[in-house]
Each structure stands twice: as C-alpha cells, then as structure tokens.
Amino acid sequence: MRRKALASSACASPDNKRFCPETFLDVVAEKLAYNAVLFINYELLQDFFFQFPRELDSNLYYGKTLQQTRDFASQNPHIGQQLKLIERRQRLELVMTRLNELVRQQAAVEQHGRKRSHWSTTASPSYSNPFPGL
C-alpha cells in the first residue's frame, strides 16, 4: 500500500516528495528493518561466540579421559608427533633418573667397601668380633 502511495501522482514529482509523508515513512521503515536485521545478527553472533568455546570445552575436554583426549589430539599429525616426542622424552628422563640412582648406589657400595676395608686393616685382632658367641 505504501508503494502504491509513493507511485501516486501526489508523490510522483520530485518537488512534492518532501510533502508526501509516505516517502518519509518508507525511508524510516527501510532503516528500521535494516537495524532490526543488524540487531538480530549481532545477537545471534554474540550468542554463538559466547557459547562456542564453552561447547568445545564441554565436548572435547570435560568428561573425557586423558587417553581419549590424547587420541583426539593425535588425530592432527603435527600434534601427534609432538605427543610422541613428549612421551619419548619422559621415558628417556626416567631411564636417566634410574641410571643416576644406580651410579649413586654403586658409589655408595664402593665407599662402604673402602670404609670397611680401612677399618678392618686398622682394627686390632681382639676387636674383630666384639660380641663373641653371637
């Protein structure tokens, strides 16, 4: 109906356009519709951007076991390679720790052996068995 009024003879000439209220109403209606679409788009995008990371966290992180998370992450070849390197490094660090413990134990045994041999050579024969009969 508004379009029909805009095409009428009263609003057809450029001089009468400013006196025709339908022209103003048409512009206002288009502007309101444009703003409404922008507002709706903004609200939808805001909702999406607010919910999307939380949905990802809830679906990919929370409620998953560590193994399921690793399986998911290893689907990406680059991340899978990094995870393998991390596991390899952890195993090598474990081996290094155990080897260091063995070296410390060996040094302690050698130190204890030296102390024992030192005391046994300096001790008098009467003190070789301080508690006879035991």
> pLDDT of 13-37, one tens digit each?
666 666 677 777 777 888 999 999 9
Prediction pTM value: 0.41
Q: Which residues contact 80 (CB under 8 A, 6 or more apart)?
A: 73, 74
CA 76 from centre of chain: 14
Which residues in the chain land under pLDDT 50?
A: 134
Is the CB of residue 45 less than 8 Å from the CB of residue 22?
Answer: no
Whether the CB-CB separation of 26 and 6 falls below 8 Å is answered with: yes
pLDDT of residue 24: 72
d(CA 91, CA 109): 27
Task: State residue 88's pLDDT score.
Answer: 97
